[in-house]
Amino acid sequence: MTESAQAASRQEQKGRTRQAILAAALELAQHQGFAQISLRQVARAAGIVPTAFYRHFESMDELGLALVEQSFSTLRRMIREAQRDPKVFDNIIDAAADVLVEAVKQSKAHFAFVARERVGGSEAVRRAIRHELDLFVSELAVVLARLPNIESWATEDVQMVSRLFVRNMVSNAEEVVEMPDGRPDLEESIKEGARRQMRLIVVGFRDWRS
């Protein structure tokens, strides 16, 4: 029994502390980069004693990998929700630009973490992010392949366009993340830039191939 009834206060508490550690690390990493925050800083911010950290993660590196996982699962949930919206079929480009900027604004910390640690982090964290992004390129390719204009393209061309889209997504996410707080007017210009770039890719690709 034990595991159905009223959901166990013991592991529930453990889960809450784990989340506190993740949240604390994410917050600290925003200001200084994950690689330069210490185990003790994280513990302090999470409200536990340094040694208690080891009850949840073997090392800071493992914490980093958990943050990568969390970040991408957030991103995937957003993409899945966005796909239900019928307007992606009419105008995938405008929809993508909107979703991107909204998503980044909503989970700024996760995007900032990925953007930074993708190149700046430890070997293990970098590899994990690269792997997730590769997966993401393939997933996006599947979505793209279903679109009216694209369904006739060769598989490898779709893959390449997907790669370009993801690369641009990363760049634009970086821009939104670095956007000064008091300047929401920049948001629309980033969006417009993203739209232009995506249109460029699609139009250029079609015409170049013809």
Partner DNA sequence: ACTTTGAGTGTACGCACGTTCACTGAGTTT
Partner DNA sequence: AAACTCAGTGAACGTGCGTACACTCAAAGT
Give the tokens for residue 120. 């700046």
Q: Which is nearer to its own copies, 118 or 191 (CB)?
A: 118
The answer to whether 2 contacts DNA (rule: CB under 7 A) is yes
Site for its own copies in 75-134 (CB under 8 A): 115-121
Cα–Cα distance, 182 to 192 (Å, whole number)? 19
The answer to whether 201 contacts its own copies (rule: CB under 8 A) is yes
Cα–Cα distance, 94 to 202 (Å, whole number)? 13
Cα–Cα distance, 108 to 38 (Å, whole number)? 22
Site for DNA in 5-34 (CB under 7 A): 8-11, 13-14, 17
Q: Which is nearer to its own copies, 12 or 192 (CB)?
A: 192
The amino acid sitting at 108 is K
Classify residue 5 as exposed, middle or buried by CB count within 10 Å of its CB (0-12, 13-18, 19+).
Answer: exposed
Give the tokens for residue 110. 């996760």
The answer to whether 61 contacts its own copies (rule: CB under 8 A) is no
Residues 139-168, mask of contacts with its own copies (x by CB under 8 A): ---------------------x---x--x-
Residues 42-61, mask of contacts with DNA (x by CB under 7 A): ------xxxxx-xxx--xx-
Of the candidates 187, 171, 189, the one whose C-alpha atom is nearest the C-alpha of residue 179 is 187
The answer to whether 66 contacts its own copies (rule: CB under 8 A) is no
Give the tokens for residue 95. 């929809």
The answer to whether 36 contacts DNA (rule: CB under 7 A) is no
By CB under 8 A, name the binding residues for its own copies.
Answer: 33, 35-36, 115-121, 160, 164, 167, 171, 174, 193, 196-197, 199-205, 207-208
